[in-house]
Structure 1
Amino acid sequence: MTGPDYAGYLRLERLLSLQEPLYPAGDDTATGSAELFFIVAHQTSELWLVQTLNDLDAATEALVGADGTGTPDGMEQALEHLGRAVAVMGLLEETVRLLERLPVQRFAAFRPRLGTASGAQSRNFHDLEVRLGTADEGESPLYRAFLKALAARGTSVEEVCRLGASGAGAPHRLAETLLDLGYRFWHWKVAHLSLVDRAVGGLSGTGGTAGASYLVSRTRMPFPELRSTRERLHQGQTGT
C-alpha cells in the first residue's frame, strides 16, 4: 500500500498558498518581503500554539482520571507533554525576537493595511491563557489536575517543595516543569511587550487596544500558588 508523499502528507500546496501580503506587489519589494516575514512569523506561531494546547490538554488528562479524581500514575506521561510545551514556548519567544528584524519603516508602510487585525484577537492565545490560569476565567485546569494528582499520592504542594528532588521524585519534577512553563510564558509575553514598544511606541493597537500599556496590564505569571509555596521555603532560613 502506497501512502502519501511528503507534500501530500503535509498538505503543502494548501499550506504554502496561505501567505498573501496586502502591500501592492511591485510598489516596494523590500516592504512586500517584510510583510511576508510578518505573516509567516504569526502563522507559524499559531501552529505552535495549536501544538502547545494539545500537549497541555493531554497533560491534564494524564493527571486526572476519567472520574475527575487525581491519579498517581499519569505524572510521567504528563511530564512528556509538558516538557514539549516548555520547548515550544521557547520557540514562540524566539519568533517574537526574530520579529525585531522587521525594520520599523517597513512595518509602518504596511501596518495600515492590517485594518483591525490584532494579535489580541488570537483564539489560540486566549485558550492558552485559560489553560494557564492567566485569563479572567480563573484557575488553571492544568494546575487543578496537578493538585488532584498530588492528593491521590497522599501529598501536597507544600510537602513536594519541602522534600525537593531527592525526596519527592516525579511530583517535584512536575512542579519544576510547571514553573519552567510559567516562566517561558512570562518571557514570551515580556519579549512581545518589548517588541511592540520598539515598533509602535505609545500608539494604539490595530485592534483598538491601548497598545503597549494594554500588554503591560495583561502580563501575568501562571501558577502563583506554586511560586508562593516555594517562596515560603525561605522563611526561617538565616543568612550568613
Structure 2
Amino acid sequence: MTGPDYAGYLRLERLLSLQEPLSPPDDGAATGSAELFFIVAHQTSELWLTQVLHDLDAATETLVCTDGRAAPDGIELALEHLHRAVAVMGLLEDTVRLLERLPVQRFAVFRARLGSASGAQSRNFHELEVRLGTADEGESPLYRAFLKALAARGTGVGEICRLGASGAGAAHRMAEALLDLGYRFWRWKVAHLVLVDRTLGGLSGTGGTTGAPYLLTRVRIPFPELRSAREGLHRHEPGT
C-alpha cells in the first residue's frame, strides 16, 4: 500500500512544532508546563471550531439548492452535519472546563506575556456567531435555510413543534438538533464566563475588554424564534 504514513498524513511534525511557550526557564518547569497546557487548549479549540464551521456550512448548503430552492432531501442530509457539530460543541465546553485545572498562580506569571492576545480576537469564534445568528450582523443563515426547507414542505416551526417526533419526523429532529446546538453553544459561553471570573475576578481582559462583564453581555442563545415556538405549546399557541 502506497501513500503517506500516519505522521505524514496528519502533518504531525509541523503540527507539533506550533506550541511555543514564552515563559523563560527562570519561571520554572511548572509555569512552562502550565503555559503549554494553555496553548494546547486554545489551539485545539480553534481546530474544533474549524470543524463546526465546516459542518454548519455543509448543513446549510444541503438544505438549499444552488438556485435557491429547498433541496428535496436536505433535512435528512443536514442532520448528519448538525449532530456532529453538536458533539464538537460539547468538546469545546469540556475544554473550557479543563482549563479550570490551570492554577491561577501559574497563569498570573505568564499572562503578561500574552500582550493584547485575546480569545475575543478569534476569527473562528466570530464566524460561529455569524452562523448561529448571535452576532450583531443578523439572522442565522442556517436557520433561514431551515425555514425555507420547512416552507417547501408546507409547514413551519410552530407546526412541527406541535406535531412532535411522531408527526413531523426529520423536520422535528432537525429542530431539536438546532436547539441542542444552541444550548451547547450557550453552555460553552457560560462555562467560559465562569472560568474568566474565577481566574481574573474583576480584572480587564488582555484584549482591552472589561473581562467578565463584557462576556456576560455576549451570552446569547441562538434561534430565539424556535425557542418561542416551543414556548407556545405551553400556551396552546404553536406560533408560526
- Does the CA-based 8 Å contact 1:71-1:148 persist in structure 2? no
1:37 paired residue number: 37
Scaled by the length of structure 2, what TM-score is found?
0.97
2:126 paired residue number: 126
Secondary structure, aligned partner of 2:206: coil
Q: How does 1:81-92 map to 2 (within 5 A)?
A: 81-92=81-92
- In structure 2, relative to structure 1, the CA distance for the partners of 1:157 and 1:236 (3 Å cut) is closer
Deviation digits for residues 60-118 of structure 1, max 9, x if unmatched?
00101111122231111100000000000000000000000000000000000000000
Separation in structure 1 between the aligned mates of residue 196 and residue 57 of structure 2, nearest angstrom: 30
- Does the CA-based 8 Å contact 1:30-1:106 persist in structure 2? yes
Secondary structure, aligned partner of 2:73: coil
Deviation digits for residues 35-68 of structure 1, max 9, x if unmatched?
0000000000000000000000000001011111
Amino acid at match of 1:96: V
Separation in structure 1 between the aligned mates of residue 156 and residue 88 of structure 2, nearest angstrom: 28
Shift of 1:232: 0.7
2:64 paired residue number: 64
Shift of 1:2: 1.2
Separation in structure 2 between the aligned mates of residue 190 and residue 218 of structure 1, nearest angstrom: 10
Separation in structure 2 between the aligned mates of residue 31 and residue 195 of structure 1, nearest angstrom: 19
Separation in structure 2 between the aligned mates of residue 129 and residue 236 of structure 1, nearest angstrom: 32
1:145 paired residue number: 145
Q: Give the gaps of 5 or more residues in structure 1.
A: none
Give me the CA root mean square deviation: 1.0
Secondary structure, aligned partner of 1:204: coil
1:6 paired residue number: 6
2:102 paired residue number: 102
1:213 paired residue number: 213
Separation in structure 2 between the aligned mates of residue 236 and residue 207 of structure 1, nearest angstrom: 47
Scaled by the length of structure 1, what TM-score is found?
0.97
Separation in structure 2 between the aligned mates of residue 236 and residue 160 of structure 1, nearest angstrom: 14
Q: Percent identity?
A: 82
Deviation digits for residues 166-225 of structure 1, max 9, x if unmatched?
000000000000000000000000000000000000100000001000000011000000
Separation in structure 2 between the aligned mates of residue 173 and residue 236 of structure 1, nearest angstrom: 21
Separation in structure 1 between the aligned mates of residue 227 and residue 12 of structure 2, nearest angstrom: 43
Amino acid at match of 1:142: L
List, as ranges, runs of 4+ consecutive aligned residues in structure 1 with deviation greater than 6 Å.
none
Shift of 1:26: 4.5
Separation in structure 2 between the aligned mates of residue 178 and residue 71 of structure 1, nearest angstrom: 18
Separation in structure 2 between the aligned mates of residue 218 and residue 70 of structure 1, nearest angstrom: 32
Shift of 1:33: 0.3
Amino acid at match of 1:184: R
